[in-house]
Structure 1
Amino acid sequence: MKIMKLTRLLGLLVAFTAPAALFGQADQITFHEDIEPILQRSCQGCHRDGGVGPMPLVSFDQVAPFAGLIEYKTAIRDRAGAMPPWYVEKGIGIQEFKNDVSLSDAEIAAISQWARSGTPEGDPANAPTPLVFDDSIKWTAGEPDLILSSNEVTKLSGTADWWGEIDSMLVDIPEDRWVKSVEVVEVNDVNNQAAKSSDTVGGAYIFHHMIWGTASLDENGNRAGRSLAWPVHEVGRNADIFDDDAGRLLTAGSYLVSDSVHLHSNGRDTTAHLEIGFRFHPIGYKPKFKDAFFNAQGNGVDISIRGDEKDQELHAYTTLAEHTKISTFEPHLHAPGERMCLEAIWGYSVETLSCVGYDHNWVRGYAYADDSAPLLPKGTILHIVGYMNNSDTNPNVPDPRNWQGSGNRSVTNMFIDLGIRVTMTDEQFFEEMEKRRQNLNLGPNDHVVGCPLCLVPLVQPIDSASVSQSLTNDVALQEAN
């Protein structure tokens, strides 16, 4: 018993002292040396004067009064209400993503220790260089090459929701351009640091969502031909980043169009417009793969969520008809949704690619890092699992006694992965796996999450022609089974 008590005591001492050791402080965690760099990287993009955050978190005097709240919010980690709003679960599946603003365990522990030890300021001379907050900071993927602005709309306080279309916007560029990322930002006259009528990020905006595309218009302003769909804009949405080898084509002289805009009152009279920012590949860029396409895997028909019950699951499966690289994972649920997991089933292998928490106030898309994006052979079965909590322990559910089914409203439900994918030929697929092996310096005893065939040539080295034939046969056998 004494040994157990001593072990526990040592464990507590290690947990308490580790943050100071990791952050280079012999005795204490301080604001300027340890906390301010974390806030600059992961918080101040929103929590600054004029930002969407309810309070600026830039100076020591601004941050110290909220130390306890910051400790609480960061400790939530990957569930609704966590800050920063990044919900990838640590230790499960792929962990490398683009524009990842999440905090490490050491950073969360450092914030907690700082908050509980009296919020020492430290030496201002050791503070990092202050960030410059100009208009470009609202673009999380980088400043756009082209910005289109919608017409302004005004939503009066307390009025009913509105659905409809906005004026079309001319894509005024001299030639067609391939797009590497797109981001939609609402610009409005809300002062988010003033008193608010809502505690959610939805209270800072009036655009709930916009389903949009680009299309040619005839002389009467009507669409000529089919529209090219682009990622849906939703409250709290981050940038959509396409695969470097599979941009999306923006046609010169086309128009941005939408007949599915949803406006809601945020509790005050608000005037707003949307800005759509496109970042381009260099002129002359040619995509290696087919256009990036937006997956809509899910089951929106058979949703049945019982009342007063948590830990309910929804399942959906799809079989890949072509070799596929998954560029992004984007869970879409509604109020009862707490998390979604993505699995890949190949032969006898069942592998979790990602599990992420869900917060309907912050709809996130998670772009895998270049050498971490799943490379899956055709015949792979993708399985998504939605975890639903329709009980009084979920504050997002207005009345958990009610059964819930499918629908477009937030009080009904959706169950979809809206991630971006690209498809590949046999030759491209083998080439991508070889590049992955080289970039990660893989050996025969390594394992790569999300690439079930990456190590086949290393386990059984043979000539390249035989490798290609062997993998093709393996794919064919899997399809036959």
Structure 2
Amino acid sequence: MRARLAVAVVAAASVCLLISSQPAAQSGGAGDVTFAKNIAPILQRSCQECHHADGVAPMSLVTYEEVRPWVRAMKMRTSLRSQRGAMPPFFVEKNIGIQKFKHDPSLSDDEVAMIGRWADAGAPRGNPADMPKPLNFDDSDKWTIGEPDLVLKSKEVLVPAVRPDWWGDFGLIPTGLTEDRYVSAVEVREINDIPRGGGTSTVGGRYVFHHMTYTSVKMGERGTGDELASSWPIHEVGRNADIFPPEAGRLLQANSALSLDAGHIHSNGREAKAHLEFAFKLFPVGYKPIYKRSTLRLGNGIDIDVKPNQANQELHAYATLQEHTKIIAFEPHLHAPGVRMCLEAIWGHNIQTLNCVGYDHNWVKQYVYQDDAAPLLPKGTIVHLIGFLDTTPANKNPADPRNWAGGGRRSIANMFIDLGYAVSLTEEQFQAEMAKRRENMKSRNDYDIGCPLCWAPPIPANTSTSTTGGQQKQ
């Protein structure tokens, strides 16, 4: 059976995060919250995409009978919010920074409290007539980005049941394009012969590709990639698809190929055949991007010193923006000791925390800002990235927290990177973006987090200033 990667991220955490509990007593009062009226709609919106029969999660959370054994676990996991192990797996801290993201499955504080009250009241079923209409689930090999315009396949690999992890070059995949095209979305998934329900159901047991770093290159006369054309978001197990802004499509050149130059595969206890599929949605012929990609790179992969058995360790990285910048997505990337990452913008004496996000190494999450909330940062802004690490036994992810660790590609080593992306703006584009942002603001009495100049006093275009005899004239 072909295994899909598109929603595997939920499967991974479901195994690690949801634990069974004994049914809560039914003797308590039903209270004001019932499964049919209050809980089922939450599950439909934020859980059932993966938690349904034959879905990728280890248990279904559709019917009352299916949900009932997991009530206490649901209360515990939803209450974790942004901490390791939280469900749903969306780790943005709710009390600081920007709160508007695309594809946000997280629960409100009221919903978390409602689940807690319902569990404490004995998880009453309620009136079946209050149940929402059941969702229909399609577990076929469909792409989350919709029908792609171009699908490229890597060579198939045979991975033995037991072998050391392997990193290496997986070669070139010609695109077959005869003209330049701009990409609106890209999605990567692993296809393998590992049966569902066979062996371990953890993410490591269901997939053999840990990650793949790839670029597109121009093909030379000898059929080799002679020139770097474009870089693309890294593929990692369970990573969501990348949907680029309408103003900033990515170029996939004519006569190009994907260069799979840094892949990592691992054994999972059974022999497996696997390959990767790369799906591209293209903008119409003739499309031209308005914004160009930012060159912002933020993180530190070398100068890392992670001490054993110590909580609250910090890593810091800084970058100064050389152009006006709109940040499209924030994607924290740490390794096993990582528990949190924050992103700050420093403009003069003004320091704004754009976001703080919990980190769980069982997950790969990209947080894409809604268009009217994406940070708009002027040239000269200092962007500050802060990583928080914990190597005490309280963090269950490190293999052995007694060991010192530096930087490296393996999970037992460390990384500290923001894998998100941004676009650069001209002065005119920057002013236009801020003007749109101002139109949506309700008041001039507060800051717009992520846009330090949105409420700066406007400077008249034809104003000139001179000083004569101590008197200023305009």
Q: TM-score, length-normalised on structure 1?
A: 0.84
Aligned counterparts of 1:122 and 1:403: Cα–Cα separation in 2: 54
Q: Quick check: 2:52–2:62 contact (8 Å CA) kept in 1?
A: yes
Q: Quick check: 2:247–2:290 contact (8 Å CA) kept in 1?
A: yes
- AA in 1 matched with 2:318: Y
- AA in 2 matched with 1:226: L
The size of the alignment, in residue pairs, is 436
Q: Does 1:186 align with 2:190?
A: yes
Aligned-pair CA distance for 1:67: 1.9
Partner SS, residue 213 of structure 2: strand
- AA in 2 matched with 1:337: G
Q: Does 1:213 align with 2:215?
A: yes
- State the Cα deviation string for residues 339-378 of structure 1 (Å, max 9, x = none): 0000000001011001001112211111111011111111
- In terms of mean alpha carbon deviation, does 260-269 or 219-228 score higher? 219-228
Aligned counterparts of 2:106 and 2:431: Cα–Cα separation in 1: 33
Q: Quick check: 2:327–2:374 contact (8 Å CA) kept in 1?
A: yes
Q: From 173, 180, 187, give the equivalent of 1:176.
A: 180
> Corresponding residue for 1:309?
310
Map residues 89-104 of structure 1 onto 2, 5 A cutoff.
Answer: 89-104=93-108
Aligned counterparts of 2:141 and 2:87: Cα–Cα separation in 1: 18
Aligned counterparts of 2:429 and 2:313: Cα–Cα separation in 1: 40
Aligned counterparts of 2:173 and 2:92: Cα–Cα separation in 1: 35
Map residues 344-383 of structure 1 onto 2, 5 A cutoff.
Answer: 344-383=345-384
> Corresponding residue for 1:242?
244
> Corresponding residue for 1:416?
417
Aligned-pair CA distance for 1:107: 1.7
The list of structure 1 runs, each at least 4 consecutive aligned residues, that deviate by more than 4 angstroms after superposition, is 135-143, 172-175, 191-195
Aligned counterparts of 1:319 and 1:349: Cα–Cα separation in 2: 15
Q: TM-score, length-normalised on structure 2?
A: 0.85
Aligned-pair CA distance for 1:174: 6.3
Aligned counterparts of 1:183 and 1:271: Cα–Cα separation in 2: 20
> Corresponding residue for 2:33?
29
Change (3 A) 1:294 1:45: farther
- In terms of mean alpha carbon deviation, does 362-371 or 214-223 score higher? 214-223
> Corresponding residue for 1:110?
114
- State the Cα deviation string for residues 202-241 of structure 1 (Å, max 9, x = none): 3332110000122233454311312411000112211223
- In terms of mean alpha carbon deviation, does 335-344 or 389-398 score higher? 389-398
Aligned counterparts of 1:147 and 1:47: Cα–Cα separation in 2: 28
More helix by share: 1
Partner SS, residue 456 of structure 1: coil
> Corresponding residue for 1:17?
none
Change (3 A) 1:141 1:93: farther
- State the Cα deviation string for residues 352-406 of structure 1 (Å, max 9, x = none): 0010011122111111110111111111001111101011111011211111111
For structure 2, the 5+ residue unaligned runs are 1-29, 466-474
Aligned-pair CA distance for 1:416: 1.0
Partner SS, residue 352 of structure 1: strand
Aligned counterparts of 2:159 and 2:195: Cα–Cα separation in 1: 15
Change (3 A) 1:105 1:140: farther
- State the Cα deviation string for residues 57-101 of structure 1 (Å, max 9, x = none): 223322222222222222221122222221111111000011111
Aligned counterparts of 1:116 and 1:244: Cα–Cα separation in 2: 47
Aligned counterparts of 2:240 and 2:452: Cα–Cα separation in 1: 30
Q: Quick check: 1:339–1:388 contact (8 Å CA) kept in 2?
A: yes
- AA in 2 matched with 1:72: M
Map residues 387-398 of structure 1 onto 2, 5 A cutoff.
Answer: 387-398=388-399
> Corresponding residue for 1:8?
none
Q: Does 1:134 align with 2:138?
A: yes
- AA in 1 matched with 2:231: A
Partner SS, residue 55 of structure 1: coil
Q: Quick check: 2:230–2:251 contact (8 Å CA) kept in 1?
A: no
For structure 1, the 5+ residue unaligned runs are 1-25, 471-481
- In terms of mean alpha carbon deviation, does 149-158 or 448-457 score higher? 149-158
- In terms of mean alpha carbon deviation, does 399-408 or 212-221 score higher? 212-221
Aligned counterparts of 1:321 and 1:424: Cα–Cα separation in 2: 11
Aligned-pair CA distance for 1:306: 1.3
Aligned-pair CA distance for 1:335: 0.7
